[in-house]
């Protein structure tokens, strides 16, 4: 209780803690993250085997919520059988969101047609379930806007680890999207990105690490963990004239509302 008063509650809204990178020490990573103030985690199951490992993680650690979907880099796997399996997993596992899905044009494959089919299939599921959609976007800002314009009645959209154009940032603000911020934006080379993020309203921001990916600069390991979130919040808070504590508290409130997390912020 006193701990909850001293430390702002933090939600890491995008983790892959089921990743093999944590097989040797998953429990202690989660414990250390909790010690750093991270009280809730959204683990993203981005492929059928990750749906199962995300479920297993949540079973051991009730402070996890899970999202279920198919990563755009795996879009070639998307067929009618996978749609059926995904729908069944959603019914059985009660995820808090669909994803991560979207467009990733940073590699030559999967093809646009494959990614479009997988993305549309998941948007259709998101629309019919009313669950938020977590979007992965790389080098695809315009295509993303064009596709999402076809889905005006989706539940909230999360642009995870935002790294888009000015046009996408403007569109996201108009559409009321949530915007995930994390280690990527703390990189020295990310000054233009920080310029875009500073204009996103505070009530649309979510903190995330994307662990084990996107470790912020200056951390001892290239493997990212949720325990890095207070440092990330300290680096990014000034963009909105917020302290690390304020950014943690406000983004956690956003996350709790968005994902329906059973959180109580005793500090306010």
Q: How far is the CB of 168 from Zn ion (least distance, A)?
A: 18
Cβ-contact 132, 155 below 8 angstroms = yes
Between 178 and 245, name the residue whose CB sits nearer to Zn ion: 178
Between 44 and 227, name the residue whose CB sits nearer to Zn ion: 44
Cβ-contact 99, 44 below 8 angstroms = yes
Positions touching Zn ion (CB under 5 A) are: 44
Between 97 and 242, name the residue whose CB sits nearer to Zn ion: 97
Between 133 and 244, name the residue whose CB sits nearer to Zn ion: 133
Q: Residue 56 CA to chain centroid, in angstroms? A: 19
Q: How far is the CB of 16 from Zn ion (least distance, A)?
A: 6
Which residues lie closer than 8 Å to 29 by C-beta, 6 or more apart? 17, 22, 225, 226, 227
| Greatest distance between any 2 Cα atoms in the chain | 53
Between 44 and 90, name the residue whose CB sits nearer to Zn ion: 44
Q: How far is the CB of 41 from Zn ion (least distance, A)?
A: 13
SS3 67: strand
Q: How far is the CB of 152 from Zn ion (least distance, A)?
A: 26
Cβ-contact 186, 162 below 8 angstroms = no
The backbone torsions φ and ψ at residue 3, rounded to the nearest 5 degrees and listed phi first, read -60, -40
Distance (Å, whole) CA 111 – CA 142: 16
Distance (Å, whole) CA 65 – CA 261: 8
Between 115 and 244, name the residue whose CB sits nearer to Zn ion: 115
Per-residue tokens: 147 = 């596709």
Q: How far is the CB of 212 from Zn ion (least distance, A)?
A: 10
Cβ-contact 252, 229 below 8 angstroms = no
Q: How far is the CB of 71 from Zn ion (least distance, A)?
A: 7
Q: Residue 160 CA to chain centroid, in angstroms? A: 5
């Amino acid at each position: 209780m006193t701990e909850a008063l001293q430390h702002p509650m933090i939600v890491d809204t995008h983790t892959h803690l089921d990743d093999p990178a944590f097989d040797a020490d998953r429990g202690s990573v989660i414990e250390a993250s909790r010690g750093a103030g991270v009280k809730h985690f959204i683990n993203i199951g981005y492929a059928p085997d990750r749906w199962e490992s995300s479920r297993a993680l949540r079973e051991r650690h009730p402070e996890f919520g899970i999202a279920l979907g198919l990563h755009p880099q795996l879009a070639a796997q998307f067929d009618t059988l996978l749609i059926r399996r995904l729908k069944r997993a959603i019914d059985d596992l009660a995820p808090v969101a669909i994803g991560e899905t979207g467009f990733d044009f940073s590699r030559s494959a999967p093809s646009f047609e494959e990614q479009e089919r997988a993305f549309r299939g998941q948007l259709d599921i998101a629309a019919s379930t009313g669950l938020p959609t977590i979007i992965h976007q790389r080098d695809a800002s315009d295509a993303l806007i064009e596709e999402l314009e076809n889905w005006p009645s989706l539940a909230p959209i999360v642009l995870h680890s935002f790294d888009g154009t000015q046009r996408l940032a403007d569109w996201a603000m108009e559409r009321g999207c949530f915007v995930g911020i994390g280690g990527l934006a703390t990189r020295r080379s990310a000054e233009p990105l920080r310029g875009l993020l500073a204009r996103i309203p505070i009530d649309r921001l979510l903190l995330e690490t994307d662990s084990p990916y996107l470790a912020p600069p200056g951390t001892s390991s290239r493997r990212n963990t949720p325990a890095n979130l207070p440092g990330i919040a300290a680096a990014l808070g000034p963009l909105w004239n917020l302290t690390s504590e304020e950014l943690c508290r406000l983004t956690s409130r956003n996350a709790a509302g968005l994902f329906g997390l059973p959180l109580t912020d005793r500090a306010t």
